[in-house]
Amino acid sequence: MAAKRPSNPLALAVLTLLHERPMHPYEISTTLKERRKEESIKLNYGSLYSVVESLQKRGLIEAQETTREGKRPERTVYTITDTGRTTMIEWLGELLGTPAKEYPQFEAALSLMPALPVDNVIRLLEQRLERLRAEYEYGSGLMRETAKMGLPRLFAIEHEYELALRAAEIEFVQNLLAELRSGTFDGVDMWRRMYELRAAGKSHEEIESTLADEFKEVHAWLTETNADDGG
């Protein structure tokens, strides 16, 4: 059975726009761009048209009329249905009211970090920090500008959120870097030792057992199949 609604937030954007007034897909896309919503909601034509089709199939929107000017492609104007309105309110409510599990790429990268040598990672994090700062500057510059132009914060609040996240990431990376550099980060010694052994041409097994020896309690944790889940 088809799910009650699509999962792509672009579909929610479509619903909110059609809630304002009927539009055709292309107008939806230009409106989203005008309002800079495509910076917060991934927009591309392929997805837009398939999302519109999927909304229609589920009865959340309806084709109102199909017009054509000259020999241009047809424009199909869509309206939101009552179910569509309800769904939009529900969905947006959920997104605002309930934190969703997300998988940021940097989180994935951090979780795999030990696959690169420490000094390498330090260099990369320095690079990241630089870029994060540049992005932060750029973003806050944009915000000041739009504020000066008289756009109420209401219509750009999502950018403030983005900046807040960036700021938090900057702080995090700064702290991490400091600890990696100073060597106070818990685990760097083991990490360095591992690459030392690898450089010395030891086999995976030799490295494993040497580390197991030199860092007993850690190794115990790493090799036990099931950590106690509590409860």
- Would you call 66 helix, strand, or coil by DSSP? strand
Residue 161 contact among DNA, a copy of itself, none, beta carbon within 5 to 8 Å by kind: a copy of itself
97 binds a copy of itself (CB under 8 A): yes
- Would you call 46 helix, strand, or coil by DSSP? helix
Closest separation in Å from C-beta 52 to a copy of itself: 17
Answer for which of 69, 82, 102, 213 binds a copy of itself (CB under 8 A) is: 102
Q: Which of residues 24-43 bind a copy of itself (CB under 8 A)?
A: 34-35, 37, 40-42
178 binds a copy of itself (CB under 8 A): no
Which window, 45-53, 59-67, 68-76, 157-165, contacts a copy of itself (CB under 8 A)?
157-165
Residue keyed to tokens 């083991």: 190
Answer for which of 44, 127, 196, 206 binds a copy of itself (CB under 8 A) is: 127
Q: Site size for a copy of itself, by CB under 8 A?
A: 86
CA-closest candidate to residue 132, choices 155, 163, 153: 163
**Of 79 and 174, which has the nearer Cβ to DNA?**
79
> What is the dihedral sign for C-alpha 127, 130, 133, 135?
negative
Closest separation in Å from C-beta 90 to a copy of itself: 10
Residues that bind DNA (CB under 7 A): 2-3, 6-8, 10-11, 24-27, 30, 42, 44-47, 49-51, 54, 69-76
Closest separation in Å from C-beta 162 to DNA: 18
Task: Give 53-61's long-range contacts (Cβ < 8 A, gap of 24+).
Answer: 54/6, 54/11, 55/6, 55/11, 55/14, 55/15, 55/84, 57/2, 58/2, 58/4, 58/5, 58/6, 59/83, 59/84, 60/5, 60/15, 60/84, 60/87, 60/88, 61/14, 61/15, 61/18
Which window, 49-57, 65-73, 74-82, 181-189, contacts a copy of itself (CB under 8 A)?
181-189
**Of 217 and 224, which has the nearer Cβ to DNA?**
224
Instruction: Kindly provide the residue ranges of all beta strands, DSSP E only, lying in the chain, ordered along the sequence.
Output: 61-67, 75-80
Q: Which amino acid is at 215?
A: F
